[in-house]
Amino acid sequence: MTKLYIVWQDPSARSWHPVGRLSQKDDVYKFVYTEGANKSEQFPKFGRMQDLYREYESNEIFPIFGNRLLPKSRPEYKDYIDWLGASDDGLDPLEQLARTGGIKKTDSLMIYPCPEKTSDGYYETYFFVHGISHLKPEDIHCAESLSIGEKLYPLFDIQNPYDQDAVSIRSDDPISFLGYVPRYIAKDVKELIELNKQDAELTVVRVNSNAPLQMKVLCRFRTKWHEDFNPCSHSEFKPISNS
């Protein structure tokens, strides 16, 4: 994982904008603001990074992103790495942020991994099912009873009043509503399903019985990379420093 986008929600319009790009190369972290940061006067710049037109570099991950990682000193760290579906070597900081979305309850930021085509020509992403905490008790029980490798079914939630790109998830046997594809990748998932029709697979990777609900079900979405799919190409993703 080499490049992540930071997506911010405007508190008034409730719209989401890519406002920054975080990357790593040769053990150096780099951050730049993107054109989406200019879309709202309410956008709060991050910490000491107050110049929208500058590229920032650091040998350590920037605090606003590092604060979204669980410290290795915490007693639940080993469980946390297991919940992420990682090996004993763990995941590097950007991979952890990509898998969790870097979401905190105290702000309106999400972290989105810019998709890259796999060596065999596929789009592949891992994510935790969102919205499980809002389910009925019987649906939570169904989520906790899923099996590794079980096939799940993404459904376009076209009547969702809050997000026209929302994609809900259900199980098959028994049929149960499980939650949602995270907002920050729902648009990609929806577009690729429409482009590839039946050639898309959503499966269970892990069910974490001892994890918080927001990390209960880890999934993988995989489908062929379509020639008409061009992610992160909108003008709001363009670094301001290159303008």
- Find out whether 229 and 191 touch, Cβ atoms under 8 Å: yes
Position 198 scores a pLDDT of: 75
Position 242 scores a pLDDT of: 67
CATH 3.30.70.2330, applies to 122-224: yes
Position 104 scores a pLDDT of: 80
Q: What is the pLDDT of residues 163-193, one digit of tens each?
A: 788 899 999 988 999 999 988 888 899 999 9
Question: What does the alpha-carbon distance between residue 19 and residue 239 come to, in Å, rounded to a whole number?
Answer: 9
Three-state helix/strand/coil letters over the chain: CCEEEEEEECCCCCCEEEEEEEEEECCEEEEEEEHHHHCCCCCCCECCECCCCCCEEECCCCHHHHCCCCCCCCCCHHHHHHHCCCCCCCCCHHHHHHHHCCCCCCCCEEEEECCCCCCCCEEEEEEECECHHHCCHHHHHHHHCCCCCCEEEEEECCCCCCCCCCEEEECCCCCCEEEECCHHHHHHHHHHHHHHCCCEEEEEEEECCCCCHHHCEEEEEEEECCCCCCCCCCHHHCEHHHC
Position 158 scores a pLDDT of: 77
Position 88 scores a pLDDT of: 60
Side chain identity at residue 142, one-letter code: C
Give whichever of 2-16, 80-94, 143-157 has the largest mean pLDDT.
143-157
Question: What does the alpha-carbon distance between residue 170 and residue 150 come to, in Å, rounded to a whole number?
Answer: 11
Position 4 scores a pLDDT of: 95
Higher-pLDDT residue of 12 and 217 is 217
- Residue in the block written with tokens 């994510």: 127
For residue 69, report the phi and psi dihedrals to the nearest 5 degrees: -110, 145
* Count of C-beta atoms within a 10 Å radius of residue 44: 12
Position 57 scores a pLDDT of: 96
Confidence category of residue 217, pLDDT binned at 50, 70, 90: very high
Contacts of 239 (CB under 8 A, 6+ apart): 21, 32, 33, 34, 35, 55
* 115 pLDDT above the threshold of 80: yes
* 243 pLDDT above the threshold of 60: no
Write down the domain spans for the chain: 3-116, 122-224
- Residue in the block written with tokens 């200019």: 38
